[in-house]
Amino acid sequence: MDTAVKKVVVVGGGFAGLNFAKQLMSNKDFAVTLVDTNNYHFFPPLLYQVASGFIELSNISYPFRRLFQEKENMRFHMGSLVRVNKDNNTIDTTTGTLAYDYLVLALGTETNYFGIENVKQQALPMKTIEDAVNLRNHLLLAMEKAVMTNDPAEKEKLLTIVIAGGGPTGVEIAGMLAEMGHHIGAKEYPEFTGIRSRIYLIDAGPVLLGPMSKVAQAEATKVLGKLGVQIITGVAVKDYADGKVILDNGTAIPTKSLIWTSGVIAREVPGLPEGSTGRGRRILVDAFNKVKGTANIFAIGDICYQDTDPQYPNGHPQLAQVAIQQGKLLAHNLQQFIAKQPIRPFIYVNKGSMAIISKYKAVADLPKFSFKGLLAWFVWLFIHIIPLVGFRNKAKLAFSWFYSFITNNPTLRLIIRPKERIS
C-alpha cells in the first residue's frame, strides 16, 4: 500500500463536492482542499423560498470553515477555478495555484439563456443565493414603484411577472408568488385595491413538469390555474425587448420582471483534453467518474455526463440525489483504490422526485407510484429538511415554515441592497 498522504483538490462544494469531501474527513491518508467561489454551501431546492421572502437565506446556507472545524486534513480555499494544468497536476484559481494528486471537478451548472442576449442581460435567473436575493429585491422594488406611478400602463408592467420554464422551479415560484399575492397583497398594499397583479408561467414543452408523471402534471396545471396563474405551454420565449417578453407565437407581454428558470449548461473547465465534453458542455466520465482522456481527474454531479449506468444510457438527470450518490461513491472508491481494494461502478438509486405547488399541495413521483395533495406536501417538507447542513438550520427552517404557513404572513420582505464587492 502507498503510504504517502494524497493531495486531493475538490472544486465546488455543492451536493456532489461536499458529500465527497465529508467522506474523507478525518482520513489521514488524504489532505483535502475544497475550492469554492463562495465561502458557504447552499441548498438550491429552496432558493425560490428565499427569492419570495418566505425564509431567510441563512436557513439554507452553511459556511465551509464551520464544517471543517478541527478537521486536520481539511482545508478551504476561497476562489474560482480558472483552468486545469493537467500536465503538471495543478489548477489555477482566481486566488492562487494549487497542486493535486487527484482532482475532483464538482462545479455544477450555470443558467442557460440559449443565446438570447437580451434575456441574459435583463432576465432574473435563480441559480445562486445572490440570484435569489436579487430577485427578492427586484420584486419588492417593483411593488414600491407600482405604488408610486400614476401611469396605468407602467403600473401594469410593474405588477406583471413572467416566469419562463415550467419545471419544478418555475412551478414552485409561480405557486408561492401567487399565494403571497392573495394573502399579503390586500393587507400590505391598500393602494392596489381593485387592481390584480398577473403571473404568467410559460413553457416550450406541451405540459408543465415535463419529466414528471401525468398525475403531477395535471395537479400542477389545476392548482396553479385556481391560483390565477396564466399557464402558456407549447410556446417559447424568443426575446425580451422594450420592456416586453416576446413569445415565438408573436404574443408580447409587457413586464418589468422576467424570471428565467428555463435551463442549465455545465460550467466551463478550461484545460481538459479535447473531446472530453459532450452535450450541454457536460464532462464525459467513465463508470468510476474518471474524466475521459485523463488519469487522475474526476467529475461528479451536474457537471458530468455518464452513460455507463444501464438504466440511464443517455446520462443521469441533473438532480441532487445523483450528485450526492456520486460524491459518496467516488470518495469510497478512492479509499479502496489506495488500499488496493476493488472499486464499484456508479449505479444511480432513484428515490423519486417531488414539487410543491402551493400551501398544503405537492406532487410526488416515487419509483413505483405517484401521489399528490396534503400527504405529498408533508413528505416534501420532511425531505427538504433532512439534507440541510447543520442542526440549527434544520430547526430554524422548521420554525420559519411553521410561522409562515400558519400565519400566511412572513416578515422577510426587506429590500437590502449591498454595496459593490471589494475586488
Cα separation values, 246 from 175, 203, 235, 255, Å? 23, 13, 10, 10
Other beta carbons within 10 angstroms of residue 349's beta carbon come to 9
Cα separation values, 215 from 163, 178, 261, 265, 284, Å? 22, 22, 22, 29, 34
- Tell the smallest beta-carbon distance from residue 317 to ligand FAD (Å): 8
Residue 11 amino acid letter: V
- Tell the smallest beta-carbon distance from residue 241 to ligand FAD (Å): 26
Closer residue to ligand FAD (CB): 80 or 251:
80
CB 390 within 8 A of CB 233: no
CB 11 within 8 A of CB 57: no
d(CA 255, CA 260): 13
Of 165, 128, 186, nearest in space to 12 by CA: 128
Closer residue to ligand FAD (CB): 175 or 338:
175
Q: Which three cell numbers stand for residue 305?
A: 455526463
Q: Which three cell numbers stand for residue 215?
A: 398525475
Closer residue to ligand FAD (CB): 126 or 220:
126
- Tell the smallest beta-carbon distance from residue 211 to ligand FAD (Å): 11
- Tell the smallest beta-carbon distance from residue 420 to ligand FAD (Å): 20
Other beta carbons within 10 angstroms of residue 97's beta carbon come to 11
| Sequence-separated (6 or more) residues with CB below 8 Å from residue 407 | none
Closer residue to ligand FAD (CB): 159 or 300:
300
d(CA 375, CA 201): 25
- Quick check: helix, strand or coil at residue 200? strand
Cα separation values, 171 from 27, 203, 422, Å? 42, 10, 36
Closer residue to ligand FAD (CB): 47 or 123:
47
Closer residue to ligand FAD (CB): 155 or 175:
175
Helix ranges restricted to H, 189-338: 214-226, 320-338
- Tell the smallest beta-carbon distance from residue 267 to ligand FAD (Å): 5
Closer residue to ligand FAD (CB): 34 or 146:
34
Which spans of this chain sit near ligand FAD (rule: CB under 6 A)? 11-17, 35-38, 44-45, 47, 80-81, 106-108, 126-127, 168-169, 267, 301-303, 318-321, 323
- Tell the smallest beta-carbon distance from residue 178 to ligand FAD (Å): 18
Which residue's Cβ lies closest to ligand FAD? 14
- Tell the smallest beta-carbon distance from residue 238 to ligand FAD (Å): 23
- Tell the smallest beta-carbon distance from residue 79 to ligand FAD (Å): 7
Closer residue to ligand FAD (CB): 72 or 378:
378
